[in-house]
């Protein structure tokens, strides 16, 4: 510690001894009694000690604070302009570090919640397949539907993890939306046939967007429309130059839930307690569309259906 103190204040001590030497030269050259010089030297040394002792104690305290860095309030002991400047930098770093730590904690909590929800979702198709195996009553169409659900849930998980890692792999190009929708509908053929659901697509819409991510967002919306449509229901998709509208005749969404369905991890009861729905897909859909500079709005009425509209962002 003493070595560090001397290194910190060596310029002052060099100056002191230089002045002391100059005083000695003056006394020597003008033939003044050296006793006066010795007396003056002792007096100046006393003042030097009065300066050195508190300075050393303060320096020691400062080093201990910076080394331990336990109590942030103790940094207020730093008072000089340069120290205050360093203190300001340290406080900014601490603030950013605290914010980053809170963000990491929040991300971890969200990930844990999402994993729990995802496991709950996966249990349903697995239980159906397990029951089929136990009863030896395997239905080929129903089996494909359950496997398709599991594939979708896995896709949701992978997409969520991509968002958690802040991956930005958007490639913007001119996309015919009708072609994307037809591909999505084709992949849901077995599900639609099993529930006798009809889907109609009308109009044309061409957007400069990312094909893969827009397809993901549209698939989540269409998946919900099919999932919550009643047997024999109808889904209507209308494409316009400035909007995409997807309407269904499903069970609808409670009015109290409309403003929360895009929240991360939100679960609600879509008009029926046995229809517990995960908001994971819609949460990611909202984020994807925001990144694609598109806006999504939803209106719904219980037992009558839901209407989802996607428009170009006005930002």
If one counts every other C-beta atom within 10 angstroms of the C-beta of residue 139, the result is 12
Return the exposure string of 151-171: e unless at least 16 CB atoms fall within 10 Å of the residue's CB, then b. Answer: ebbeebbebbeeeeeeeeeee
Count of residues for the chain? 315
Enclosing H/E stretch for 198: strand 198-203
Domains of the chain, by residue range, sit at 2-77, 168-312
Given a cut of 50, whether residue 230 has pLDDT beyond it is yes
* The CATH number of the domain covering residues in 168-312: 3.30.565.10
Q: What is the mean pLDDT of residues 235-262?
A: 90
Quote the pLDDT of residue 123: 87
Short-list 236, 224, 225, CA closest to 200: 236
DSSP β-bridge partners for residue 248: 235
Higher pLDDT pick, 90 / 125 = 125
Question: Which tens digits make up the pLDDT trace of 63-120?
Answer: 776 666 545 555 555 556 666 666 677 777 777 777 778 877 877 877 787 788 788 8
- pLDDT band for position 239 (cuts 50, 70, 90): very high
| CA nearest to 315, candidates 290, 298, 296, 297 | 290
Q: What is the pLDDT of residue 206?
A: 93
At residue 271 the predicted structure's pLDDT band, cuts being 50, 70 and 90, is very low
Q: What is the structure's pLDDT at 232?
A: 93
Instruction: Report the pLDDT value the prediction gives residue 287, as an integer from 0 to 100.
Output: 87
Q: List pLDDT tens digits, range 148-161.
A: 888 888 887 887 77
pLDDT in tens, 195-213: 999 999 999 999 999 999 9
Pair type for strands 234-239 and 276-278: unpaired
What's the whole-number mean pLDDT along residues 231-245?
A: 94
Q: How far apart are CA 51 and CA 54, in angstroms?
A: 6
pLDDT digits (tens, 9 = 90+) for 4-21: 777 777 777 788 788 888
CA distance 233 to 250: 7
| pLDDT score at 76 | 56
Determine contact, residues 119/278, Cβ cutoff 8 Å: no
Cβ partners under 8 Å of residue 283, min gap 6 = 262, 263, 264, 265, 266
Using the predicted structure, report yes or no on whether residue 235 has a pLDDT greater than 90.
Answer: yes
- Average pLDDT of span 43-59: 81
Q: What pLDDT shows up at residue 139? A: 82
Mean local confidence (pLDDT), 302-309: 93
Average pLDDT over residues 278-304: 86
Q: Are 306 and 248 in contact (CB under 8 A)?
A: yes
Alpha helices (H) in 69-80, listed in sequence order: none
State phi, psi for 268 to the nearest 5 degrees.
Answer: -145, 175
Phi and psi at residue 206, to the nearest 5°: -120, 125
Quote the tokens at residue 187: 């992949």
Please give the pLDDT value at position 11.
79
Query: Crossing angle for the helix pair 2-29 and 34-68, nearest 10 degrees?
Result: 160
Strands 276-278 and 294-301: unpaired
Q: What is the DSSP letter of 269?
A: E
Q: What pLDDT, on the 0 to 100 scale, is given for residue 277? A: 44
């Amino acid at each position: 510690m003493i070595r560090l103190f001397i290194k910190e204040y060596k310029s002052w001590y060099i100056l002191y001894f230089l002045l002391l030497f100059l005083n000695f030269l003056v006394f020597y050259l003008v033939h003044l009694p050296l006793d006066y010089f010795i007396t003056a030297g002792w007096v100046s040394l006393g003042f030097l000690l009065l300066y050195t002792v508190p300075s050393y104690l303060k320096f020691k305290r400062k080093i201990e604070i910076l080394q331990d860095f336990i109590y942030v309030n103790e940094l207020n002991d730093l008072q000089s302009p340069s120290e205050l400047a360093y203190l300001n930098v340290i406080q900014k770093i601490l603030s950013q570090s605290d914010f980053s730590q809170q963000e990491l904690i929040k991300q971890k909590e969200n990930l844990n919640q999402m994993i729990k929800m995802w496991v709950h979702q996966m249990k349903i198709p697995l239980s159906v397949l397990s029951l089929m195996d136990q009863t030896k009553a395997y239905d080929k169409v129903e089996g494909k539907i359950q496997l398709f659900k599991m594939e979708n849930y896995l896709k949701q998980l992978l997409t969520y993890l991509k968002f958690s890692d802040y991956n930005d792999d958007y490639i913007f190009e001119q996309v015919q939306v009708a072609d994307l929708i037809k591909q999505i509908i084709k992949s849901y053929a077995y599900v639609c046939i099993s529930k006798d659901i009809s889907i109609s697509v009308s109009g044309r819409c061409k957007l400069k967007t990312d094909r893969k991510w827009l397809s993901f967002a549209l698939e989540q919306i269409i998946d919900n429309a099919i999932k919550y449509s009643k047997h024999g229901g109808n889904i209507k998709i209308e494409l316009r130059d400035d909007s995409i509208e997807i309407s269904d005749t499903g069970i609808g969404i409670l009015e109290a839930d409309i403003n929360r369905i895009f929240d991360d991890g939100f679960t609600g009861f879509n008009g029926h307690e046995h229809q517990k729905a995960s908001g994971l897909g819609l949460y990611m859909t909202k984020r994807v569309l925001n990144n694609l500079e598109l806006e999504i709005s939803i209106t719904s009425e219980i037992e009558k259906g839901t209407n989802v509209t996607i428009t170009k962002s006005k930002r």
